[in-house]
Amino acid sequence: MTSINVLLGMVIFWALFLTIIFRLEKRMVWPYGELESAPHFGDPSGYGTRWVAEAIEAGFTLLGWARDLKGDKYRVSYAMLVSREKDIFAVIGVGSILNIPLAATWLHTPTADGRSFYSTDKQSGVQIDLSHHWTNQLVPATTFLQLLEEHRAWIKGNGVIPRLFTGGREIAEFRAMREEHYRSMERAGLIGFTDGSARYFCFTLPGAARTATWGYLLGMARQLSHGRFPRNA
């Protein structure tokens, strides 16, 4: 019984702590700067160099690198790429947040009905959306090609009909996809915009509590199952 109480206490503590963080933190709908030819903060781990090279080998086109605009504590650069088939937008992030190293990749496939299915290789890359406008899977892959194969199989298994990106407009369409995503979260009462241009938002108290609690439990389940359960979130 003592072990159960300790576990329950940990869940409650972290759920409350994350709820406070989610509620107070102001976030950006579009945190990406102008495209550059190389990562603004460098790539000391080599993760970005390796994964971008693998993506290009798999037929992706590198559109450029964008720096994180959220402030001095976010020393992160993001490679933006699009697949040859125009059905996947890839974001490869490298750098550090509050001096904590970050290296993660997101593969987005927008759907014909306006939603998005995305795969990421790191639990830190999971962004829970309880409005279900975006659906994610965690794949603890060691290479870009492995993540890509798992993503394509997952998309097929979910019966997703991709909405293709338009050549030359990939960045604009990815931005519009993100904007609609956060509007969906606002309609669900999860977040509220803090400015008239809807560039910044904070979680509502109910949205913060629900997202923090579910996100923590989801992370535990995926950690124990190596990403296999739950597959969709």
In a domain, residue 218? The reply is: yes
Query: Residue 2 above 90 pLDDT?
Result: no
Instruction: Give residue 215's region: left, alpha or beta (phi > 0; psi -120 to 50).
Output: alpha
Q: What percent of the chain has pLDDT over 70?
A: 99
More confident residue, 38 or 14: 38
In a domain, residue 230? The reply is: no
pLDDT computed for residue 25 by the predictor: 93
Condensed to tens digits (0 to 9), the pLDDT of residues 153-180 reads 999 999 999 999 999 999 999 999 999 9
pLDDT computed for residue 92 by the predictor: 98
In a domain, residue 185? The reply is: yes
pLDDT computed for residue 1 by the predictor: 58
Total domains in the chain come to 1
In a domain, residue 5? The reply is: no
More confident residue, 15 or 64: 64
Residue type, 119: S
In a domain, residue 81? The reply is: yes
Beta pairing partners, 94:
77, 103
Domain limits for position 168: 14-225
How would residue 150 be classed by pLDDT, with cut points 50, 70 and 90? very high
How would residue 82 be classed by pLDDT, with cut points 50, 70 and 90? very high
Beta pairing partners, 159:
none
pTM: 0.94
How far is it, in rounded angstroms, from Cα 83 to Cα 4? 47
Angle, to 10 degrees, between the axis of helix 2-24 and the axis of helix 205-225? 130
In a domain, residue 8? The reply is: no
